[in-house]
Amino acid sequence: MGALALLYYLHRLPWQGQVEEISLDEFKNLLQNGQIKSLVIRETNFVGEYMPGVRAKAAKFKLSVPQDLVAKYADQATEGGVRVEDKPPNRFLGAILFYVFILGLLLLLFYFLFVRQMRSAGGGSVLSFGKSRARLVTKERAKVTFNDVAGIEEAKEEVREIIEFLKSPGKFRKLGGRIPRGVLLIGAPGTGKTLLAKAIAGEAGVPFFSISGSDFVEMFVGVGASRVRDLFRQARESSPCLIFLDEIDAVGRSRGHGWGGGHDEREQTLNAILVEMDGFESDENVIVIAATNRPDILDSALRRPGRFDREVVVDMP
């Protein structure tokens, strides 16, 4: 942008070589004495060339003339034999410079918002934009147990098998047990779905990754999918562990019924979740628990075998 400004400035200078600035009185004296060879007029700016020998230090001069006197001095110069060239103002480069300036401001604003969004993603670094926002509760800090969860005894019984698997996955496999990779907690808001998921991790003594479905979706397409991959990578490194996806319906709605960039982002995020769950190896001791109060709007692919094929209803206590 600075280069364009310089180009515009240089383009407006119709002279080359040494140029001195003179007063209006000096200009009138030069004109009366026939000491001006040529004159270029652009709006109220006069740029002239001295007759040979008039000035030793400069070959040309410049001055600004009041608007109401421009025509008068232009006529006098022409009558005095001065070669006069009247150039219209160059508004093209001026317009370009204006739009480039506006574009620069918009790019600066976009960059500011982009960096701010990246910093809010965690870590305060440009490289953290595609990193997972999941909150990790280590097994040492997982203090919530079934004793803290009251009134949903039936739901607690249904998930005890998961706890046994996370405690002793090798022993569980030797006995021929099949553990679901995904568990869907279904219940109205406030029934204790999140607390139950924390209690499962606390009872099993494993790390607990917690994230809301809305945390995956951003204005930039592809960010959600990147965060999903990063979340599952961290989970595999911390195996055995538990991933809790709260409000899974934020990204798990049935596909093909929306429009716009936000819909594309949700679809990519959902596809990434499905791919990661399908990619679990038999020795990867990671269980994904999702919670929703709208199971009717979930994409059918989420509830297929090998994904969230076990559903636990969490009723009001």
Q: State the DSSP string of the chain.
A: -HHHHHHHHHHT----S-EEE--HHHHHHHHHTT-EEEEEEETTEEEEEEPTTS-SS-SEEEEE--GGGHHHHHHHHHHTT-EEEEPPP-HHHHHHHHHHHHHHHHHHHHHHHHHHHHHHTTTTSGGGTTS--PEEE-TTT----GGG--S-HHHHHHTHHHHHHHH-HHHHHHTT----SEEEEE--TTSSHHHHHHHHHHHHT--EEEEEGGGT--SSTTHHHHHHHHHHHHHHHT-SEEEEEETGGGT-BPTTS--SHHHHHHHHHHHHHHHHHHT--TT--EEEEEEES-GGGB-GGGGSTTSS-EEEE----
| pLDDT score, position 19 | 86
Supply φ then ψ for residue 280, to 5 degrees: -65, 130
Which pLDDT score is estimated for 23? 93
What dihedral do alpha carbons 186, 191, 197, 199 form, nearest 10°? -150
pTM exceeds 0.75 for this model: no
> Residue ranges of the domains in the chain?
17-86, 138-253+264-313
Q: Give yes or no for a contact between 55 and 16, defined as CB atoms under 8 angstroms apart.
A: no
Give the per-residue pLDDT at 83.
92
Q: Find out if CATH 3.30.720.210 is the number for domain 17-86.
A: yes
Fold identical between 17-86 and 138-253+264-313?
no
At residue 90, the pLDDT reads 63
pLDDT in the model for residue 39:
93
Phi and psi based region of residue 266 (left: phi greater than 0; alpha: psi -120 to 50; beta: remaining): alpha
Phi, psi of 301 (to 5 degrees): -65, -25
> CA-to-CA distance for 193 and 129, rounded, in angstroms?
29
- Average pLDDT of the residues of the chain: 81
Q: Which stretches of the chain score pLDDT less than 70?
A: 1-17, 89-94, 114-133, 139, 176-178, 218-222, 256-263, 282-283, 317
Say what the pLDDT of residue 10 is: 46
Superfamily for domain range 138-253+264-313? P-loop containing nucleotide triphosphate hydrolases (3.40.50.300)
- Residue 71 CB coordination number (10 Å): 12
Note the pLDDT of residue 255: 75
